Amino acid sequence: MSVESVIIIGSGPAGYTAAIYTARASLNPLVIEGYQVGGQLMLTSDVENYPGFPDGIMGPEMMPLFRKQAERFGTRFLQKDVTKVDLSGPVHKVYCGDHVYEAKAVIVATGASAKWIGLPSEQKLMAKGVSACATCDGAFFKGEELVVVGGGDTAMEEANYLTRFAKKVTVVHRRDQLRASKIMQDRAFANPKISFIWDTGIEEILGEDKVEGVRLKNLKTGEVSVFHCGGVFVAIGHKPNTDFLKGQLDLDETGYIKLAKLPTTQTRVPGVFAAGDVHDKIYRQAVTAAGSGCAAAIDAERYLEGLAHS
């Protein structure tokens, strides 16, 4: 088996941008995209803040453009999930089940995934009215009353998007202040179809074969009530996709990759770089992920140049 120059794990803006740069640098990158190609933008609606798209673009339209641009320069793609890595030797090993791929440099760009509340009823009613993706599932809820859980930008975005279909959207938030940016808050407050229930948690999602409501608990007064709705959209943040890296790279207490030589994308292991949401819990934007993918590609290129001259 031949040793690749660079393997990129992940297929969001960070991974594809790293592919564009390493491909243009003639490094013939192999992108292991995962089965969920395109990352989180595939689950989002309008992207209005990515420079170059003055009228906005839908996330699921944007990611194939990134991919196509990487393909144009000869990137090779593999639609498999990476199950483990062995970064102990000078050649890094990347496993997809029984298959092993070897590379001198690895760029990890596996992003993050939506978090769930953790209720048994949430699991039971998953895809039966419980969702974390308004773009994917919103159209199934025409004329329904919906609940969105969370107080960040994702929750506001989901709530706004869902008003295209829903009769009414109620945001249930555990505090009395939103975490979302001002523009997203203003948009949600101005939307006549959106209302808010503050200081409240969801104790249970009700229904047998489909969501029929939620049992709410006011976290200040302890009062419990039932709220009828046809769907629950969970938008409470994300968890980095780093389970396959445990013991191989330094991760922080919440699982994000720790970078070793800031401001570069170098991890603790020479030749292994991290790009995008997998290490960034502060900015987490498509454009910062893409920028970080570019940085990782340049770091990898310089690392490989160094190897060639050593």
- Residues engaged in binding ligand NAP (CB under 6 A): 49, 117, 149-155, 157, 174-175, 179, 181, 236-238, 284
Q: By three-state DSSP, how is residue 21 classified?
A: helix
CA nearest 235: which of 174, 164, 168?
Answer: 174
Question: Least CB distance from residue 288 to ligand NAP, whole Å?
Answer: 9
The set of long-range contacts for 81-90, using a CB threshold of 8 Å and a minimum separation of 24, is 81/34, 81/35, 82/9, 82/32, 82/34, 82/110, 82/244, 83/244, 84/244, 85/244, 85/245, 85/248, 86/248, 87/248, 87/249, 87/269, 87/272, 88/248, 90/271
Name the residue nearer to ligand NAP (CB basis): 136 or 298. Answer: 136
CA nearest 108: which of 179, 51, 39?
Answer: 39
Nearest residue to ligand NAP, scored by beta-carbon proximity: 152
Residue 295 contacts residue 265 (beta carbons within 8 Å):
yes
Question: Least CB distance from residue 18 to ligand NAP, whole Å?
Answer: 20
Active site residues: 133, 136-137
Name the residue nearer to ligand NAP (CB basis): 236 or 294. Answer: 236
Question: Least CB distance from residue 157 to ligand NAP, whole Å?
Answer: 5
Question: Least CB distance from residue 120 to ligand NAP, whole Å?
Answer: 15
Name the residue nearer to ligand NAP (CB basis): 49 or 195. Answer: 49
Name the residue nearer to ligand NAP (CB basis): 49 or 79. Answer: 49
Name the residue nearer to ligand NAP (CB basis): 202 or 300. Answer: 202
The residues, any chain, with a CB within 8 Å of residue 253's CB and separated by 6 or more, are: none
Residue 187 contacts residue 160 (beta carbons within 8 Å):
yes
> Which run of H or E residues covers position 189?
helix 182-190
d(CA 309, CA 79): 34
d(CA 20, CA 293): 9
263 upstream amide cis, omega within 30 of 0 = yes
Residue 109 contacts residue 296 (beta carbons within 8 Å):
yes
- The token pair that represents 232 in the structure block: 């629950």
Phi/psi for 57 (5° steps) reads -150, 150
Question: Least CB distance from residue 252 to ligand NAP, whole Å?
Answer: 15
CA nearest 111: which of 282, 274, 299?
Answer: 274
Name the residue nearer to ligand NAP (CB basis): 240 or 271. Answer: 240
Question: Least CB distance from residue 152 to ligand NAP, whole Å?
Answer: 2
Name the residue nearer to ligand NAP (CB basis): 232 or 304. Answer: 232
Residue 6 contacts residue 70 (beta carbons within 8 Å):
no
